[in-house]
């Protein structure tokens, strides 16, 4: 398998990472090297093998539906790039 430059741009967009044309070229080389390594997996017959998502076969734990955290809004907003009146500011998305 080999990624085209167009695919590299598509993946970068999926990941929301801006890449320049020259970055895309070097990324393409590196990613293809990595995928060459990954390709070794394709030769393995895994029919009937249950995928293993996790080291421990655990179900999701549930907790009682009660308030367990204190309000720390001010502390959390103090580290945000831009806030106003208790709101996180981002560029306008709705005209």
Is residue 22 within the footprint of another protein (CB under 8 A)?
no
- Contact mark string toward another protein, 47..66, x via CB under 8 A: --xxxxxxxx-x-xx-x---
List 21, 37, 65, 84, residue binding another protein (CB under 8 A): 37
Sign of CA dihedral 7, 9, 12, 14: negative
CA 57/CA 55 separation, integer angstroms: 7
8 CB-contact burial (10 Å; exposed 0-12 / middle 13-18 / buried 19+): buried
Closest separation between CB of residue 88 and another protein, Å? 6
Is residue 33 within the footprint of another protein (CB under 8 A)?
yes
């Amino acid at each position: 398998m080999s990624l085209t430059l167009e695919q590299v741009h598509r993946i970068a967009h999926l990941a929301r990472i801006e890449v320049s044309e020259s970055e895309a070229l070097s990324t393409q080389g590196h990613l293809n090297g990595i995928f060459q390594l990954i390709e070794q997996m394709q030769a393995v017959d895994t029919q009937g093998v249950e995928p293993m998502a996790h080291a421990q076969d655990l179900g999701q734990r549930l907790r009682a539906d009660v308030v367990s955290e204190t309000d720390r809004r001010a502390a959390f907003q103090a580290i945000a790039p831009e806030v106003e009146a208790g709101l996180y500011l981002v560029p306008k998305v709705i005209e």
